[in-house]
């Protein structure tokens, strides 16, 4: 099958979202499909690309910013000229008359078209980031756009989104890109927790800090540290978190690394024993989600905690579920949970073999071929 994978933003190899997209593309290719990636390149001028080919150069200035958001004719023309059979587009919460027309023309040309919505629902998430006004147009047109599609791909358990049927998959793992933890550390005297994220309020890391503050309110011989890896979405968020750590007198036990990748990230994971997933998804109205981070922790071979509903992991013996509220994480409970585990890193990693990106993208293809 000739497939066009469409994204409406840039594509950079070291970016987390871009890595996920590249894993999806490679998963489709490894199943024998011919896949081309359409994306924006904004190095000098704003250019719409397919693989290494420029299909539209919008130039510079205000008009280029407008055209990249409204001129999708080059995508349609490319798809028709190359006899594309299936279009997989990743929502940028950009439903508008121009995306509606693009999909309508693709459908008229006989193509199957699905749209992935990475996080759903997402309105409250945007409001939490202070950019709710940016999706006003999306709210007006998203139901109309959904009607043009063959399906919506979701990482949630919703059977319908915006009135359209869904294809429900999980965020996957590219196992070749994630190093499994070499061995279990000596945790007789200390336990090291790790949280890796582009840090937003819905990660709820403050709940872990509050839990540490409560834990150390009485003298402790057993040391628990929290290693925070990643950059904050906003400077204000970082300032507030650092101040919260200081006010809690937890600077000795909460270590902030900034963004790490490659060997540096592997080294931090090797020093740590337990992963910290999202603890505040309830803050943005999300109950069910299948985050990439939960899957990375499992692929690394470490147990972890989170507070949302993730049907792939809720019943796993190495997962500690936290309540979806504002209570501090109970560190004594966490330590006791960790001590009763007997699974090796390889045991944990081997438990998620079905979550490879190839398996997840084949679910999409099999659904599309039945349409």
Task: Tell me the backbone φ, ψ of residue 298, rounded to 5 degrees.
Answer: -65, -40
* Average pLDDT value for residue range 168-188: 93
**In the chain, % of residues over pLDDT 90:** 87
**pTM (predicted TM-score):** 0.85
Instruction: Report the pLDDT value the prediction gives residue 133, as an integer from 0 to 100.
Output: 63
pLDDT of residue 58: 96
Check whether 132 has a pLDDT greater than 80: no
Q: What is the pLDDT of residue 128?
A: 64
Cross-strand pairs, 305: 276, 320
Average pLDDT along the chain: 94
Placement of tokens 């055209």 in the chain = 67
pLDDT at residue 168, as a whole number: 96
What are the two backbone dihedrals, phi and then psi, of residue 12, each rounded to the nearest 5 degrees? -125, 130
Evaluate if residue 70 carries a pLDDT over 80. Answer: yes
Q: What is the mean pLDDT of residues 52-77?
A: 95
SS3 113: strand
Separation CA 204–CA 366 (nearest Å): 37
Helix axis angle for 357-370 and 16-30, nearest 10°, is 60
Question: Cα dihedral angle (340, 290, 163, 91), rounded to 10 degrees?
Answer: 170
pLDDT at 179 over 80: yes
Query: For the segment 211-240, what is each residue's pLDDT rounded down to a tens digit?
Result: 999 999 999 999 999 999 999 989 999 999
């Amino acid at each position: 099958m000739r497939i066009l994978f469409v994204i409406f933003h840039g594509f950079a190899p070291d970016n987390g979202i871009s890595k996920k997209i590249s894993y999806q593309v490679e998963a489709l290719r490894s199943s024998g499909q011919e896949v081309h990636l359409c994306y924006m390149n904004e190095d000098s001028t704003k250019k719409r690309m397919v693989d290494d080919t420029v299909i539209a150069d919008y130039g510079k200035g205000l008009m280029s910013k407008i055209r990249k958001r409204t001129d999708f004719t080059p995508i349609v023309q490319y798809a028709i000229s190359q006899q594309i059979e299936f279009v997989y587009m990743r929502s940028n919460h950009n439903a508008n008359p121009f995306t509606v027309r693009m999909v309508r023309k693709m459908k008229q040309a006989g193509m199957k078209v699905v749209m992935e919505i990475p996080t759903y629902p997402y309105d409250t998430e945007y409001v939490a980031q202070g950019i709710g006004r940016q999706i006003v147009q999306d709210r007006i047109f998203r139901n109309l756009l959904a009607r043009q599609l063959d399906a919506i791909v979701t990482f949630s358990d919703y059977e319908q989104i915006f009135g359209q049927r869904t294809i429900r998959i999980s965020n996957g793992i590219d196992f070749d890109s994630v190093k499994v933890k070499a061995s279990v550390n000596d945790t007789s005297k200390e336990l090291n927790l790790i949280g890796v994220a582009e840090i937003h309020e819905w990660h709820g890391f403050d709940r872990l800090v509050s839990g540490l503050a409560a834990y150390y309110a009485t003298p402790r011989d057993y040391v628990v540290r929290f290693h925070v890896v990643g950059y904050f979405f906003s400077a204000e968020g970082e300032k507030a978190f650092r101040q919260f750590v200081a006010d809690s007198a937890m600077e000795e036990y909460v270590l902030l690394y900034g963004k790490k990748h490659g060997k540096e990230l592997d080294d931090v994971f090797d020093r740590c024993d337990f992963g910290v997933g999202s603890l505040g998804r309830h803050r943005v109205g999300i109950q069910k989600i299948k985050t990439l981070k939960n899957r990375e922790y499992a692929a690394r071979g470490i147990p972890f905690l989170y507070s949302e509903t993730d049907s792939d992991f809720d019943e796993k013996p190495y997962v500690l579920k936290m309540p979806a509220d504002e209570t501090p994480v109970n560190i004594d409970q966490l330590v006791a949970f960790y001590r009763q585990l007997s699974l090796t890193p390889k045991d944990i990693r081997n438990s998620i073999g079905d979550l490879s990106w190839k398996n997840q993208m084949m679910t999409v293809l099999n659904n599309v071929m039945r349409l």
